[in-house]
Structure 1
Amino acid sequence: MVVCGDDALAHRLAAELREVYRERVVLVGPAGGPAAGPRLTVPGQGRASALLGRVSAVMTGAPPATGGLPEVVEADEPTEAVLASAGVAGAAALALVYDDDETNIRAALAARRLNPGLRLVIRLYNRKLGQHLEQLLDQAALVALPDLSPGEVDASTTVLSDADTAAPALAATAVAGTSKIVHADGLLLRAVERTPPGRGDVADPGLCTLALLSATTNDPAGEEGSDSSGTAGPRLLPDPSTVTAATGRGTVVLEAVTHTGPVLPAGRLAGRGIPVSELFSRRLRWAVAVTCLAVIGLAVASWLTTGDHPLHAAYVTLLDLFSINDPAVGESTARQVLQLLSGLVGLALLPLLVAGALEALGAFRSASALRRPPRGLSGHVVLLGLGKIGTRVLARLRDLGIPVVCVEEDPEARGVALARRLRVPTVIGDVTQEGVLEAAKIQRAHALLALTSSDTTNLEAALYARTVKADLRVALRLYDDDFATAVYRTLRAAHPDALTRSRSVSHLAAPAFAGAMMGRQILGAIPVERKVLVFAALVVAGHPQLEGRTIEEAFRPGAWRVLALDTTAPADRRPDLATPRPADGERHATGLVWDLHPGYVLRPEDRVVLAATRRGLAELLGRHPQPGPVGRWPSE
């Protein structure tokens, strides 16, 4: 694997590939100073390698290793010569994560010439350009390698945005307090550690049990479970009998991230999001109802007094109401009285029509304006910043049905238009000014997401929010990982009973980029103590371990387990379930079915989502896993 980048995302991505997936990695990045040309640095030396060692230590919780780090090619620009020296011609995948779109595109075109069958993962901010670039590079690979099938070429190029990939984790932090999630066709899945249930208690199995922890009831740290019980750490993907027999041990359970708080009000007008009650006032609705009753009464009276057919009597009443009937001269007194009364009701109808038109116009005009937070709102999420990241997170939160109040200083920010269209309450103002957070009802909020582009603004807002509500759940977006760690530790020490998370975008986006480099079938990975579970989406055809077997027979304890079945028709399936859906704020139905019958027989055309160990996934894919650094990740 080759990773090219000039910021923290490149280092985080290289560490993710090495530590989680055990891949051999070459890192291409700018030199510490002026360089005469590209040069290969000995592993473990140089400023880039030192930084990568610190990132790896943060990810694994172990001190930096002296060996096993990726090779580093120091170069200011990813020219064709630099890519060749990094071994792109023989690499399996290349990630281009420079902050400049033009640099990434130029390098992608050069890499496709060097290696037509290379799997490309490109970081681009321009979505439309990214779609065209995917098609262009896939077409180039198809022309250069005509023996490849269209399916293989389709999996060769993936364009991602760090904003899109970080948004699901930030949304999950606001809802569930964790960013260790897996994204699968619009669903957010998390692995939850649960302590051993007490006597007589019934544990919630969630979607399934992923692992048995090494910790026991008497030894929460896990030493007794590792030594005396002979488990040698956690047991991944245990069978049901093993889970039942392992009393006193904690478990890791897979759950879907859902919102259990207050729900969004129903009854919205299609396309505009306006409640019907806001379109016309209550007084106007009562006036229209009384007028309709009067018209009905006049029609009934005309039918009873004149003896006409009921439909004809109603027709005559409407003609009198709109003053387009002939005067009832020479007719009976009752007919004349009814005509006069109908004319009076018609006079009252005209101002009602004008008032209704004006109120409807005012309602639709207010729909284009930003809403203010409702007076009784509580249990919501306060979202600070509607920039690139905040816009994506807002769409994910609304996709989960979570009430949100946004705070943005710039009324022309890119996310303001989305908030206006979705009728999300928004406060325009500087969050550091007094009264702005109070206007967002921070004292009754469930969580605070500080996602502005300024670290100091996010920190100041979080500290002030904690003075208003000490137990508020807080998640901050901070650029520097070291600064984020220091802020997290300090806030946790100052407020031990409140949940605090400080995350950088590179920290949250790296797992998605790493999964794309492994192939579109990889959905993500979740660590379990010092082991890792990988989630993947596979088509059953070509895998004899799955094809023609039932769900129960396809389960191999300790290696892989089928979790869900994609019921979408093969022609309508999304090629990559891990790629977030468009951030349009609309809810999308998923085709994944998680409650599978054990006797269901897997067909070749089925696509399944499974959890596997690294060794088990390598066996399914016909690969040979790379050995990991000594003392880092024990063998599974």
Structure 2
Amino acid sequence: MIVCGDDALAERLAAELHSVYRETVTVVVPSSRAGDGAPSGSAGRAATALLGRIQAVMSRPSRASGEGTQEPRVLEAPQPDEATLIEAGVRGAAALALVYDDDETNIHAALAARRLNPRLRLVIRLYNRKLGQHLEELLDQAAAVAAPGLDPTALDTSTTVLSDADTAAPALAATAVAGTSKVVQADGLLLRAVERTPPGRGQVADPGLCTLALLSATTNDPAGDEGSDDSGQGQGPLLLPDDRMVAAATGRGTIALEAVSHAAPAVPPGRLAGRGLPFGSLFSPRLRWSLAGLATCVLGLAVANWLTAPRTHPLHAGYLTLLDLFAIDDPALGEATSRQILQLLAGLAGLLLLPVLFAAVLEALGTFRNSAALRRPPRGLSGHVVLLGLGKIGTRVLARLRELGIPVVCVEEDPEARGIPLARRLRVPTVIGDVTDEGVLESAKIHRAHALLALTSSDTTNLEAALYARSVKPDLRVAMRLYDDAFATAVYRTLRAAHPQALTRSRSVSTLAAPAFAGAMMGRQVLGAIPVERRVLLFAALNVAGHPQLEGRTVAESFRAGAWRVLALDTTAPDERLPDLASAPAGDGDERPTGLTWDLHPGYVLQPQDRVVLAATRQGLADLLRRHHRVHAHGPEA
């Protein structure tokens, strides 16, 4: 396995492959030496720090000791060009992960790697989802042309494009808001897991389709050990428990798979707000009442004209009234007194109409101008989430929070940040300013907020914002994005001691995203991940053939508590299956169903031609894929 990257995700992914999946890993990192093409200054210091962390992680004893796994190799190179990939052994590698922070670097390296090894399994980190879909199709097509004898099942997973922001956003959003549903959504496939409180005495918990996890007893306890990604040794959550574990775990909340459906990608609320404004937002209530009063006055004058001239048609009476209103009719000389009085009243109404129309035009122009600007937090806002940082991660979390209907106030220092256009389109209140400056958090109504979600790229900025927010509101729920595990543990314990009644949580984006990237490198379709406190539950699609833990066993026999559980069966014929369960069927009139059956009988025997959707822990999925790899490499006897 080859991992190429320049940030924390490369480190976490390499450690995941080496320690959990027990694979031989080569890591390519930016050069830490100054020279031609090598990073220097702050970039050089960052590269040196990354290299040191990776070497420290790789030097730790692996659980794979004694199993023939080679020690990891670290290769320094300015860029992942063709020569670097050849030196890393791409021609004989099973999989390559390109997880640089720059999309263009990953694309160039992916094109070169596909040309050097058409059978190589590629996992690419891209933020642009639409570009990722096109790149997947292009690289898969290139693999099929260059290697016509490639196994179709291997071709289905030859290229996988993932986004760490998309993978981590649901977990970060759920951390900030208690009681939200945890969703795995990949185009048409939607899995919804709901956190449920412990049942009362004499009540029976509804397991839904199945119970995915038992939460720790300290989930909502500020002193709980699950506060940071690497804190404490207390009793954590139980993933994929069996019926006996569920029955014995009294007083503990659960995460149940409640609903499975196929739906189009969700459109964030207010997405079309920037394309058309409702009438009520154009004009103020006072102006609308003025227009309504004038319209009533004109209608009354038209009716009076019709009643005073019995032989006049109602439409003609209305026409005369409008002519009088706009002062373009001849004076009613020599006509009846009633007609002359009505003409004078219509003229007066016309004089009143002119300033109202002028005010309406000015107000509408001001409304359109303000719609292009960022909203300020309303005066009476309360119970909202204050989101710090609108970079790659913050933008995805903002979209997720708005999909859940949660009020948000954003704080961003850079007015040209990536998430500013999204905040403007969704009409989300946004404060532009440095969160460490005095008065910025007050402008975001932090004293009336429900939670603070600090997602800037600086650990110290997130910590400073959390400390200041706690000084304003001691019981505020705080979730911070922190990279360093030791630092996160120290921060968590200190804040817990200083504010024992407030919930504090820390999360690392790379820790949340690494399991999905590692699973994709092993050649399976990882549909997504659901965070369970500090752990992650993966959803993957596997072909039963080649997995002795599944093949020939019933659904009940294949279940391994704490490791994996079969959730669904694809009953479609093998030659008619969708190649990728994580993508929706094409909208070209093809209404062929996917054939997924979720309510499986425990006695159903899994056949080699079956494809299943299962939930698995990181170690459980690693065990399944590692055994599958050995069977294919050495034969069934292995």
CA apart distance, 1:424: 1.4
How far apart in 2 are the matches of 1:188 and 1:18?
30
How far apart in 2 are the matches of 1:486 and 1:530?
16
CA apart distance, 1:289: 0.9
**1:317 corresponding residue in structure 2:** 321
How far apart in 1 are the matches of 2:510 and 2:344?
77
Determine which of 283, 288, 291 is the counterpart of 1:288.
291
Q: 1:491 to 1:118 in 2, by over 3 A?
A: same
Alignment partner of 1:71: what SS? Answer: coil
Q: Do the aligned residues in 2 keep the contact of 1:565 with 1:596 (CA within 8 Å)?
A: no
Mark the runs of 5 or more structure 1 residues left unpaired by the alignment: 36-45, 58-63, 222-232, 258-264, 547-551, 580-590, 628-636
> Is 2:348 the partner of 1:344?
yes
How far apart in 2 are the matches of 1:330 and 1:122?
88
**1:117 partner amino acid:** R
Determine which of 557, 567, 570 is the counterpart of 1:562.
567
Deviations 1:119-170 (A, max 9, x none): 2112345667655544442332122023459886464223334334333332
Determine which of 494, 501, 515 is the counterpart of 1:497.
501
Alignment partner of 1:624: what SS? Answer: helix
**1:28 partner amino acid:** V
**1:297 corresponding residue in structure 2:** 300
Residue correspondences, number: 563
**1:75 corresponding residue in structure 2:** 75
Greater CA drift, 347-356 or 334-343: 334-343
Mark the runs of 5 or more structure 2 residues left unpaired by the alignment: 35-51, 218-223, 226-236, 260-267, 585-592, 605-609, 632-638
Q: 1:23 to 1:399 in 2, by over 3 A?
A: farther
How far apart in 1 are the matches of 2:318 and 2:461?
68
CA apart distance, 1:74: 2.3
Identity of aligned residues (%): 69
Determine which of 305, 316, 333 is the counterpart of 1:329.
333
How far apart in 2 are the matches of 1:312 and 1:624?
87
Q: Do the aligned residues in 2 keep the contact of 1:383 with 1:450 (CA within 8 Å)?
A: yes
Deviations 1:96-115 (A, max 9, x none): 22345565444423422332
**2:8 corresponding residue in structure 1:** 8
Q: 1:204 to 1:476 in 2, by over 3 A?
A: same
**2:160 partner amino acid:** T
Q: 1:467 to 1:183 in 2, by over 3 A?
A: farther
How far apart in 2 are the matches of 1:256 and 1:212?
15
Q: Do the aligned residues in 2 keep the contact of 1:24 with 1:626 (CA within 8 Å)?
A: no
**1:120 corresponding residue in structure 2:** 122
**2:383 partner amino acid:** G
How far apart in 1 are the matches of 2:496 and 2:53?
31
> Is 2:477 the partner of 1:469?
no
- How does 1:517-536 map onto structure 2 within 5 Å? 517-519=521-523, 521-524=525-528, 534-536=538-540
Deviations 1:448-502 (A, max 9, x none): 1112232222111111111111121112223433322322232233323322222
How far apart in 1 are the matches of 2:489 and 2:110?
34
How far apart in 2 are the matches of 1:268 and 1:251?
35
**1:433 corresponding residue in structure 2:** 437
Deviations 1:193-213 (A, max 9, x none): 866x45313435356312579
Alignment partner of 2:582: what SS? Answer: coil
Alignment partner of 1:401: what SS? Answer: coil
**1:38 corresponding residue in structure 2:** none
Greater CA drift, 394-403 or 185-194: 185-194
Q: Do the aligned residues in 2 keep the contact of 1:540 with 1:607 (CA within 8 Å)?
A: yes
**1:224 corresponding residue in structure 2:** none
Determine which of 387, 390, 408 is the counterpart of 1:386.
390
**1:169 partner amino acid:** A
- How does 1:1-400 map onto structure 2 within 5 Å? 1-18=1-18, 22=21, 24-30=23-29, 48=54, 50-52=56-58, 71-77=71-77, 78=80, 83=85, 88-99=90-101, 101=103, 103-124=105-126, 130=132, 133-147=135-149, 153=155, 155-176=157-178, 182-185=184-187, 189=192, 192=195, 197-205=199-207, 208-210=210-212, 236=240, 238=242, 248=250, 252-254=254-256, 270-272=273-275, 276-307=279-310, 308-400=312-404
**2:5 partner amino acid:** G
Q: 1:613 to 1:450 in 2, by over 3 A?
A: closer
Alignment partner of 2:332: what SS? Answer: coil
Deviations 1:27-61 (A, max 9, x none): 323499879xxxxxxxxxx974541466x99xxxx
Deviations 1:378-420 (A, max 9, x none): 1111111223332232222222222111112233333223322
How far apart in 2 are the matches of 1:626 and 1:249?
42
Q: 1:12 to 1:334 in 2, by over 3 A?
A: same
Q: Do the aligned residues in 1 keep the contact of 2:387 with 2:453 (CA within 8 Å)?
A: yes
CA apart distance, 1:445: 0.7
Q: 1:343 to 1:79 in 2, by over 3 A?
A: closer
**1:304 partner amino acid:** L
Greater CA drift, 315-324 or 152-161: 152-161
Deviations 1:317-340 (A, max 9, x none): 223222333433333222222222
How far apart in 1 are the matches of 2:270 and 2:135?
41
How far apart in 1 are the matches of 2:596 and 2:326?
61
Deviations 1:553-595 (A, max 9, x none): 899654644369999xx9999956399xxxxxxxxxxx99999
CA apart distance, 1:192: 4.8
**1:29 partner amino acid:** V
Q: Do the aligned residues in 2 keep the contact of 1:369 with 1:420 (CA within 8 Å)?
A: yes
Q: 1:305 to 1:179 in 2, by over 3 A?
A: closer
Greater CA drift, 327-336 or 470-479: 327-336
Alignment partner of 1:94: what SS? Answer: strand
CA apart distance, 1:436: 1.4
CA apart distance, 1:435: 1.6
Q: Do the aligned residues in 2 keep the contact of 1:408 with 1:426 (CA within 8 Å)?
A: yes
RMSD: 5.1
Q: 1:518 to 1:542 in 2, by over 3 A?
A: closer
Determine which of 573, 582, 603 is the counterpart of 1:577.
582
Q: 1:198 to 1:349 in 2, by over 3 A?
A: closer
How far apart in 2 are the matches of 1:592 and 1:168?
25
Alignment partner of 2:323: what SS? Answer: helix
How far apart in 1 are the matches of 2:334 and 2:622?
99
**1:2 partner amino acid:** I
Alignment partner of 1:51: what SS? Answer: helix
Alignment partner of 1:300: what SS? Answer: helix
Q: 1:573 to 1:176 in 2, by over 3 A?
A: farther
- How does 1:577-616 map onto structure 2 within 5 Å? 577=582, 610-611=614-615
How far apart in 2 are the matches of 1:540 and 1:327?
92
Determine which of 480, 483, 497 is the counterpart of 2:484.
480
How far apart in 2 are the matches of 1:592 and 1:357?
54
How far apart in 2 are the matches of 1:32 and 1:163?
26
**2:567 partner amino acid:** V
Q: Do the aligned residues in 1 keep the contact of 2:176 with 2:453 (CA within 8 Å)?
A: yes
CA apart distance, 1:361: 0.5
How far apart in 2 are the matches of 1:266 and 1:124?
25
How far apart in 2 are the matches of 1:33 and 1:619?
36
**2:75 partner amino acid:** A
